[in-house]
Structure 1
Amino acid sequence: MPATHPIVNIAAYKFITFDDTAERRAAFQAICAELALKGTILLSPEGINLFVAGSRASVDRFLAWLRDDPRFADLEVKESYSDEQPFNRMLVKLKREIITMKNPLIKPELGRAPVVTATTLKRWLDQGHDDDGKPVVMVDTRNAFEVDVGTFDDTIDYRIEKFSEFPAVIEAHRNELADKTVVTFCTGGIRCEKAAIHMHNIGYESVYQLEGGILKYFEEVGGAHYTGDCFVFDHRTALNPQLEATEATQCFACRSVVMPREQLSPSYIPGKSCPHCVLVEA
């Protein structure tokens, strides 16, 4: 795939104490400008979160530069490829959290929740239970509009509108999940890691996070037990299990995801409206 798709898209995050974000921001801006990279990098006292795209050589040079910092030497990256640059510009932002949960007690660097790899999860889903015979329940930690683009089969979807709603929702449903093995998942791993740690903190006993999220699952085992595509926060909008961009797009007016069938509607006018926002207005 890389030979025919010149743009390399990388997604990565790491929870780690990073208290010199303001001082390091200029260096990140400079290296990204030098390498003509585009995307978004979030710097926070709890770590780093990045979505960056560019040529193979530029991405490799950027990662070598970043991993020269001992805090990020073991940074794991998920890759996909595209014909065109999916971002308009390069942003390096300072944030209080790299993913907003509004729960300062969570410090993943002090201990991660148990992880389940893509291959192990597929085996569990194939057999209908984990290795101890307990039923496996998938909990989607993403926002409702992302879930609507695609998710694991028979997943629990609490229809949250923002991740900061997750703690209250999962507390309310604790009794329903008490005798099951819960696997939290999200796009790339960051939300499900925080979610799983929070669940352990409030008393859940058997909770795993999907290592690397949906994108790593696609990369390693494809689309088994998954229906639809995976929403991504760039101009590609959604990736299929082969990590290829789909025909889905996002409405400029209301930001809803507009699937190919919906694009046939007379209400869909690129850059102006779609069936979702027309329905709300009605």
Structure 2
Amino acid sequence: MQRGRVTRYFLIGPTLFVVFAVSLYPMIFAFITSFRDWRLARSLSPEEFVGFENYTRAFLDENFLNSFWVTMRYVVLSVSLSIILGLLFAVILQRRSVLTSIAKVVLVLPFAVAPALRGLTWRFMLNPQYGAYDKLIDTLLPFMADIQWLSEPFWALLMMASTEVWGWSSLVSLMFLGALGTINPEVTEAAALDGANEWQTFWRVTIPMIAPIILLVTLLRIIFSLKVFDQVVTLTGGGPGNSTETLNYFVYKAGFRFYDFGYASALGYILVAILFIAAFFYVRMLLGGEQDA
């Protein structure tokens, strides 16, 4: 038995070493750095201990506060649109046919596209000179022909959220489709016999029955939306101005543009704290659902 235990540790040893080297060690180092003053322009190594100064500096920094509210607006837009469209697609695809079977396969494809590629593609498609999306919108909605999609703060943020919605709503719809499939048809039939129309059945029967799944998917989407980075870099670059500068992108700028590693480390841990709160509720809901099952 002792020999078997040594063999197990020997086999998982390399994996644990890699995890520590590429994940745990950088996190510990960044945490220690967040309490120190380290500007690469002045020193190649961390300088004096400054306590919580980097953290308090963040909440007094207008640019950080701007990135926080930009991220919150982005989360609201991308998550709400993903959930609404995903639920709509799921209801449509619930009806069995050859076309819906094909659509289910096609729906997986947008999610398979890398976030950075989504941003590049949408940037090309929204180009006012040759972009396909821009031309299509100009044709269908002539009153929006003069809009510069990536040059106006509101539209730039909306388009950035749309790239996330385009990539996620398809997967969300498949999750909801699975949830809808668990509903006993006798329940909806009973509602119809009681005189409920399709809308009343959907709103008062279907939605309450899949509400736990909706909440789980919403929390999952919030976690991923809070981490948005690729589309900011490839689609808007944080502009116009800093109107699409999210928290993740602001951390990147502080660390790799201004080389203020102490401040960037503190910002990173503030973002980690926000993600931890969202993840805590997600795991709690997930475990609660398993216990109920």
Verify same fold: TM over 0.5.
no
* Higher strand residue share: 1
Between the two structures, name the one with larger relative contact order (CA 8 Å, sep ≥ 6).
2
TM-score between the two structures when normalised by the length of structure 2 = 0.26
Q: Going by fraction, where is helix more abundant, 1 or 2? A: 2
Alignment TM-score, normalising by the size of structure 1: 0.27
